[in-house]
Structure 1
């Protein structure tokens, strides 16, 4: 089995990152579009000052998240064919990470905004807290915990690669 060169590895890392950003970009753009239309909806005038403040936080966080999640594409255009893929991947990773953090803020703020408009403020606070814990669990805690796990399948595959591919049972 041939090993990939360092250049191929950076290229693959960038392609993987772009695939991940496509998913996040769609989500943040849909949320941002929803937030852009909200003030023009019937009933928005009934929002409280707190709800409008939370709306502004959600809108600005979604806007900033969209900018950061889309930024690697613009960064790639600026560095295109300059042989700076490692730099591009490192910066794109940081942009994506901060973009996801801001997307988390936008999502939880949006949950609070809607639930506070529909329900009692205490219930809205609890539901938003649950949403925050949910996002943190799956976007931060699980990947960090999983990063430290030893995967038996991966260990077996690594051993097979080192010894050469062994045929399986017939």
Structure 2
């Protein structure tokens, strides 16, 4: 089956290019809704941390990790909301296949930034909570899990099952 960015005219369905673009847009929007909600909640919580009394007691290194985490969360939010703005601005211009491709790229970028945000936030929380040397190893394990779930398994399935077509 074709995806939003492969340019394939063969999707295994009897649909025109515009029907395929409409279907792909709807699928992409459903995917974005899940990621958008998560990143917005995480970003919202991150924004409040600086206003807590404990924040001012953090070591400078932890404050820097926090700043990087907030910036990553902001970038992820922008990338995951970007497809909505993109669609709104180009709507009615008869470029839906191109809009789907760009929205797909923004969504993928947003997921990578969300991965970085989650990893950095976990690192910061565990550093503050434990000050233990095992924190980087725990975070690396969780990062490996994210990579497996979000990228490795889907890429493996894409390669494995696309090869059979």
Q: With structure 1 as the length reference, what TM-score do the two structures score?
A: 0.85
Q: 1:99-144 CA deviation, whole Å, 9 max, x = no partner?
A: 1111111000000000000112422211111111111111111111
Instruction: Please state if 1:59 is matched with 2:70.
Output: yes
Instruction: Please state if 1:118 is matched with 2:111.
Output: no
SS of structure 2 residue aligned to 1:4: coil
Q: Aligned equivalents of 1:112 and 1:130: distance in 2?
A: 11
**Residue number in structure 2 paired with 1:21:** 32
Instruction: Please state if 1:34 is matched with 2:10.
Output: no
The 5-angstrom pairing of residues 127-166 of structure 1 reads 127-150=138-161
**Residue number in structure 2 paired with 1:83:** 94
Which one of the candidate residues 7, 14, 21 is aligned to 2:18?
Answer: 7
**Residue number in structure 2 paired with 1:167:** none
Unmatched segments (≥5 aa) in structure 1: 156-170
In the TM superposition, residue 57 of structure 1 has moved relative to its aligned partner by: 1.0
Q: Aligned equivalents of 1:19 and 1:144: distance in 2?
A: 20
- Bigger helix fraction: 1
Q: Aligned equivalents of 2:46 and 2:135: distance in 1?
A: 18
Runs of 4 or more, structure 1, over 4 Å off, are none
Say what the alpha-carbon RMSD is for the aligned residues: 1.6
Q: 1:65-99 CA deviation, whole Å, 9 max, x = no partner?
A: 00010011111111111110011011101101111
Instruction: Please state if 1:103 is matched with 2:114.
Output: yes
Q: With structure 2 as the length reference, what TM-score do the two structures score?
A: 0.87
Does the CA contact (< 8 Å) of 2:17 and 2:97 recur in 1? no
**Residue number in structure 1 paired with 2:58:** 47
Q: Aligned equivalents of 1:121 and 1:67: distance in 2?
A: 33
Q: Aligned equivalents of 2:65 and 2:120: distance in 1?
A: 6
Unmatched segments (≥5 aa) in structure 2: 1-12
